[in-house]
Amino acid sequence: MKVWIDGRVVDASEATVPVTDHGLLYGDGVFEGIRIYGRQVFRLLDHLRRFASGARAIGLALPVDLQGVEKIVLETARAFGQDEAYLRLVATRGVGGLGVDPTTCHEPRLFCIAATIDIFSAEQLRAGIALATVSVRRPALDALDPRVKSLNYLNNALAKREAKLRGADEALVLNAAGRIAEASVANVFVARGGELVTPPTTDGSLDGITRDSVMQIAASLGVRATAESLSRLDLLRADEAFLTGSGARIVPVASLDGQPVGWDDTAPGDRPVTRRIVEAFPAFTRANGTPF
């Protein structure tokens, strides 16, 4: 693991953040999870724009401009040197007083971690994962907007914890109205009648870059893909379902709350729409990467 912090790249064991940083004390900050595929940073500009807009949304002035952040990301990727990797770009409010007041923090902190992660195994990517509908609801847009990728991920962590405690792999998180928002840190897609549907971000999800990539790939394959509000029942009635995220990638869903999802014995990763999207994904990453 390599980390860009305080102007240089160091090993993770040497990268430290003070205990009075409000990123740690209050989850005050924003982050991005970015994939490197084939020695290219995937959709870097889109990640940087989301990062910058999240920072604006919480009134955090990034210590460098977007070109500066891009240089830091590419420098971290080069130092790590792996062809396939995962980057975690983080901006915190910085060191401040022991009260929540962000105006006591005068120097936002930026760091970038390069590592490898595998959230789901190759077997899960074929056989699919088990989802559990959790009791933790996604916060309302006017409470903590889920479209801001903030460091305040307690809601997401508790959703994942509950799903794991109930023996599932991942959480299905609903909003206060009972509509599907997303998984703990991934977007949800269902396929029915050969078409793809994903909930609108206004139902409580991040505007995922993998989600958008799947919509673009679907369009190029002539598969209709739309954003429409979905319920648990829509998932149980679907022909196929999968999750998308930079960390998770494209993960087929095998069951929800102990009920199978889909109608035949085909492995969820081998079902027609899922397979076409998964097979087209590598070429899409090659065409949308920044080399380092």
139 binds ligand PLP (CB under 6 A): no
Phi and psi (nearest 5°) for 270?
A: -105, 5
Give the nearer residue to ligand PLP in terms of CB position, either 148 or 267.
Answer: 148
Q: Compute the least distance from the CB of residue 290 to ligand PLP, in Å.
A: 16
For residues 183 and 156, the answer to whether their CB atoms sit within 8 Å is no
Q: Which two tokens stand for residue 283?
A: 């070429």
Provide the 3-class DSSP secondary structure of residue 8.
strand
Q: Compute the least distance from the CB of residue 182 to ligand PLP, in Å.
A: 5
For residues 10 and 111, the answer to whether their CB atoms sit within 8 Å is no
33 binds ligand PLP (CB under 6 A): yes
Give the nearer residue to ligand PLP in terms of CB position, either 5 or 185.
Answer: 185
Among 76, 124, 150, 156, binds ligand PLP (CB under 6 A): 156
How far is the C-alpha of 170 from the C-alpha of 248, rounded, in Å?
A: 11
Q: Compute the least distance from the CB of residue 185 to ligand PLP, in Å.
A: 4
How far is the C-alpha of 182 from the C-alpha of 18, rounded, in Å?
A: 33
Q: List, as own/partner pairs, every contact residues 51-59 make where C-beta atoms lie below 8 angstroms and the sequence separation is at least 24, other chains included.
A: 51/89, 51/91, 51/149, 54/30, 54/148, 54/149, 54/150, 55/30, 55/91, 57/145, 57/148, 58/28, 58/29, 58/30, 58/148, 58/150, 59/102
Give the nearer residue to ligand PLP in terms of CB position, either 209 or 238.
Answer: 209
Among 170, 182, 234, 239, binds ligand PLP (CB under 6 A): 182
206 binds ligand PLP (CB under 6 A): yes
For residues 8 and 72, the answer to whether their CB atoms sit within 8 Å is no
Q: Which of residues 107-136 bind ligand PLP (CB under 6 A)?
A: none
Give the nearer residue to ligand PLP in terms of CB position, either 124 or 156.
Answer: 156
160 binds ligand PLP (CB under 6 A): no
247 binds ligand PLP (CB under 6 A): yes
Helix or strand run (H / E) with residue 170: strand 170-174
Among 40, 92, 124, 210, binds ligand PLP (CB under 6 A): 210
Q: Compute the least distance from the CB of residue 196 to ligand PLP, in Å.
A: 15
175 binds ligand PLP (CB under 6 A): no
On the CB side of 237, how many CA atoms lie within 13 Å of its CA?
Answer: 8
40 binds ligand PLP (CB under 6 A): no
- Give me the residues that bind ligand PLP (CB under 6 A), please: 33, 149, 156, 182, 185-187, 205-206, 208-211, 244-247
